[in-house]
């Protein structure tokens, strides 16, 4: 296990928690205290200003009433004297505005006397006169860049607004005081945090020391050492935990011995199973897989451990883990490729406690490729035989019904109908004979009557027979070495193989075409090939032409009387001799059928 550093230890976390608690508490107290203090100072200051403004408004109301009707100069002089009396260090400026004309009729700022007689543009003044209400707010002074309190208070006479007093007061001192208070509070918080860190360190040691000891014991247990005991420092909750930990160690030691024995038994059973076994945890992650399962899925055990079983089996689109837990039937897994079939059957079993809690899932994989292949071939075989028999029988029935209905009296039609019925009958006889031949070769008691045959002589004799009986313009070209080559074979069976291959070559050869016969000795084998210049076979169909009932051109094959079993029979017979058969073709240029037979050159020396 990786060693825990100091900056990740629980010791440091305890200290950090204590410090953070104190910091949060101090911050909450500080914010609340500063906010309340600021509100109190500002409220008191504003109340003080309002009292002075109210007194000023009272004096100005009397002055304006007393000077009513007199010249403006006299009125402005009286107001100037009053403003001079209310001038103080915390008030920047006081203005008196006439309510009717909105002209400034007095200001306490000696350096700003030029604005007297001008109309005011302050919105607060206009609003306070219109709505008859005090208007005040803290703004930033454009000249000094400091915060100031501005307030406009209406002046009344006989319950009518006759003007307003506009006050600009300094409030930046209050914020300076708050800044000093914040510094004091920050210093106190820092000192509190320092003392808290020291006390937290001492307190954390009393908790982390037994926990550290239990961690060492846990590490020892992971290495299989159950003899070590945790030291008990006291009988509080942590001490009780240490005692319980020691008791747990003893129980684990006993359980491990039992589990190891059962695990060895289970591992032995799973390892020697021929079926694939996959086990998962309750979340569907793979925790166990045996070698047959890894081979079936073509994966390494290391790469699929902890992976979801639905993704490993390729079931993401059709199943979820919940579906597999409830699946009662087998699930077919088709991993077939274009060239090779591969099908598995998966049976799932839920690992469940008595309480019903699901611990995981067991999947057993069976390779059913051969079984499925046999079933598919059986179905195809039955379907093909049914189709091949139904076609001539249907034709014969139609023609016989026509003859029964009176067509036998027609001297031109009746012979044709009878000839067709005879042709279809012969075709069914050939089909049945081929099926009997395949059935005999599939049986376990099938035996070959082998004898030593001079193959070139044997091959040329068969070619001569076809050359004498051919009724089409096809040229035979023989490239057979004039050399005695003895091969042990069943003459009747290989004759049938050559008859089937040569017959196909003649059927598909065009008028004036050529059929080439070759033999070649190579590595204790004799390779025979028969080539035509017909239409050829598409590349995708080459591997299928040796399947039973397979035809590249079904319509033409039936027209020529083929059953689709000739090459299948040839393949079975060649394989029975321990050889192999295959084809090469180029569309539009022709096809070559090859087959190989074992050839023992030492036996030829004995015959010689």
Task: Name residue 478's beta-bridge partners.
Answer: 517
Task: Name residue 345's beta-bridge partners.
Answer: 332, 366
Taking alpha carbons only, the member of 551, 558, 552, 557 closest to residue 391 is 558
CA 26 to chain CA centroid, Å, is 49
CATH number of 451-607: 3.30.565.10
- Cβ neighbours of 520 (radius 10 Å): 14
Quick one: pLDDT at residue 378? 67
The residue ranges of every structural domain in the chain are 12-176, 228-272, 277-367, 373-442, 451-607
What is d(CA 327, CA 318) in angstroms, rounded to the nearest whole number? 12
Question: In this predicted model, what pLDDT tens digit does every residue of 318-346 receive, in sequence order?
Answer: 888 888 888 778 888 888 887 778 888 88
Architecture of domain 12-176: 2-Layer Sandwich (3.30)
Taking alpha carbons only, the member of 18, 27, 25 closest to residue 197 is 18
Quick one: pLDDT at residue 57? 79
DSSP for 547-584, please give it.
STT--SSHHHHHHTT--S-HHHHHHHHHHHTT-EEEEE
Taking alpha carbons only, the member of 538, 519, 544 closest to residue 595 is 519
For CA atoms 232, 235, 241, 246, the dihedral sign is positive
Taking alpha carbons only, the member of 475, 449, 441 closest to residue 572 is 441
* DSSP label at residue 232: P
Indicate the burial class of 365 (C-beta count within 10 angstroms; 0-12, 13-18, 19 or more): buried
- All residues at 6 or more sequence positions from 19 whose CB lies less than 8 Å from its CB, including other chains: 193, 196, 197, 200
What is d(CA 504, CA 561) in angstroms, rounded to the nearest whole number? 11
Quick one: pLDDT at residue 560? 46
Taking alpha carbons only, the member of 128, 141, 164, 158 closest to residue 56 is 164
Strand-strand pairing, 513-521 and 525-531: antiparallel
Fold of 277-367: Beta-Lactamase (3.30.450)
CA triplet 355, 361, 362: central angle to 5 degrees? 125
What is d(CA 77, CA 83) in angstroms, rounded to the nearest whole number? 10
Strand-strand pairing, 474-479 and 513-521: parallel
Asked whether the domain spanning 451-607 has the same topology as the one spanning 277-367, the reply is no
What is d(CA 455, CA 299) in angstroms, rounded to the nearest whole number? 49
Quick one: pLDDT at residue 2? 46
DSSP for 86-110, please give it.
T--TTEEEEEEEETTT-BEEEES-G
What is d(CA 39, CA 554) in angstroms, rounded to the nearest whole number? 102
Quick one: pLDDT at residue 557? 46
CA 453 to chain CA centroid, Å, is 65
- All residues at 6 or more sequence positions from 245 whose CB lies less than 8 Å from its CB, including other chains: 214, 217, 230
DSSP for 487-530, please give it.
EEE-HHHHHHHHHHHHHHHHHHPPTTEEEEEEEEE-SSEEEEEE
Taking alpha carbons only, the member of 273, 264, 317, 263 closest to residue 295 is 273
Are 274 and 365 spatial neighbours (Cβ–Cβ below 8 Å)?
no
What is d(CA 349, CA 328) in angstroms, rounded to the nearest whole number? 8
What is d(CA 144, CA 142) in angstroms, rounded to the nearest whole number? 6
Point out the residues of the chain with pLDDT beneath 50: 1-6, 554-561
440 three-state secondary structure: helix
Quick one: pLDDT at residue 182? 80
Backbone angles phi, psi at 526, to 5 degrees: -115, 125
CATH number of 373-442: 1.10.287.130
* DSSP label at residue 119: B
Quick one: pLDDT at residue 70? 53
The structure's pTM equals 0.40
What is d(CA 100, CA 118) in angstroms, rounded to the nearest whole number? 13
What is d(CA 509, CA 531) in angstroms, rounded to the nearest whole number? 10
What is the helix (H) or strand (E) element at residue 38, kind and residue range? helix 10-66
What is d(CA 591, CA 39) in angstroms, rounded to the nearest whole number? 105
Taking alpha carbons only, the member of 576, 604, 600 closest to residue 494 is 576
DSSP for 179-231, please give it.
HHHHHHHHHHHHHHHHHHHHHHHHHHHHHHHHHHHHHHHHHHHHTT-----PP
What is d(CA 342, CA 351) in angstroms, rounded to the nearest whole number? 28
What is d(CA 108, CA 485) in angstroms, rounded to the nearest whole number? 139
């Amino acid at each position: 296990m990786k060693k825990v550093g100091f900056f990740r230890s629980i010791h440091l976390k305890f200290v950090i928690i204590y410090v953070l608690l104190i910091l949060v508490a101090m911050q909450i107290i500080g914010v609340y205290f500063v906010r309340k203090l600021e509100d109190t100072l500002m409220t008191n200051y504003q109340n003080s200003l309002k009292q002075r403004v109210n007194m000023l408004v009272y004096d100005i109301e009397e002055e304006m009433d007393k000077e009513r009707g007199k010249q403006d100069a006299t009125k402005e002089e009286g107001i100037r004297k009053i403003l001079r009396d209310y001038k103080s260090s915390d008030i920047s400026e006081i203005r008196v505005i006439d309510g009717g004309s909105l002209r400034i009729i007095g200001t306490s700022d000696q350096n700003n006397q030029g604005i007297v007689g001008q109309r005011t543009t302050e919105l607060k003044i206009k609003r306070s006169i219109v709505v008859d209400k005090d208007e005040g707010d803290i703004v930033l002074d454009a000249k000094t860049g400091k915060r100031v309190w501005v307030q406009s208070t209406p002046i009344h006479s006989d319950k009518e607004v006759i003007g307003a007093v506009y006050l600009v007061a300094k409030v930046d001192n209050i914020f300076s005081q708050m800044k000093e208070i914040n510094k004091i509070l920050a210093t106190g918080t820092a000192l509190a945090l320092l003392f808290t860190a020291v006390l937290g360190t001492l307190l954390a040691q009393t908790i982390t020391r037994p926990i550290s000891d239990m961690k060492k014991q846990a590490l020892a247990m992971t290495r299989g050492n159950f003899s070590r005991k945790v030291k008990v420092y006291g009988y509080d909750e942590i001490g009780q935990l240490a005692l319980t930990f020691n008791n747990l160690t003893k129980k684990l030691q006993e359980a491990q011995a039992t589990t190891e024995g059962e695990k060895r038994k289970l591992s032995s059973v799973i390892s020697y199973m021929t079926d694939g076994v996959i086990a998962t945890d309750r979340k569907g992650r793979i925790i166990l897989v045996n070698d047959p399962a890894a081979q079936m899925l073509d994966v390494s055990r290391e790469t699929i451990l902890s992976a979801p079983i639905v993704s490993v089996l390729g079931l993401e689109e059709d199943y979820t883990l919940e579906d597999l837990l409830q699946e009662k039937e087998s699930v077919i897994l088709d991993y077939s490729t274009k060239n090779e079939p591969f099908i598995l059957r998966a049976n799932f079993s839920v690992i469940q406690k008595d309480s019903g809690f699901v611990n995981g899932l067991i999947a057993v994989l069976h390779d059913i490729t051969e079984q499925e292949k046999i079933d598919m071939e059986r179905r195809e075989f039955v379907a093909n035989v049914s189709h091949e028999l139904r076609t001539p029988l249907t034709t014969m029935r139609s023609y016989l019904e026509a003859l029964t209905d009176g067509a036998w009296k027609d001297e031109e039609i009746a012979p044709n109908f009878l000839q067709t019925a005879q042709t279809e009958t012969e075709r069914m006889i050939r089909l049945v004979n081929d099926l009997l031949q395949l059935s005999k070769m599939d049986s376990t008691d099938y035996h070959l009557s082998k004898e030593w045959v001079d193959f070139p002589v044997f091959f040329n004799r068969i070619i001569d027979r076809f050359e004498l009986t051919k009724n089409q313009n096809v040229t035979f070209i023989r490239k057979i070495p004039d050399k005695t080559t003895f091969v042990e074979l069943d003459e009747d069976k290989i004759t049938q193989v050559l008859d089937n291959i040569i017959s196909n070559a003649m059927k598909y050869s065009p008028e004036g075409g050529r059929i080439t016969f070759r033999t070649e000795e190579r590595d204790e084998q004799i390779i025979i090939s028969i080539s035509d210049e017909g239409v050829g076979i598409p590349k995708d169909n080459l591997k299928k032409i040796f399947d039973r009932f397979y035809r590249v051109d079904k319509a033409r094959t039936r027209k020529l009387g083929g059953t689709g079993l000739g090459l299948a029979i040839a393949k079975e017979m060649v394989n029975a001799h321990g050889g192999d058969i295959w084809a090469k073709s180029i569309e539009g240029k022709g096809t070559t059928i090859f087959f190989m037979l074992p050839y023992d050159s030492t036996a030829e020396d004995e015959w010689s």
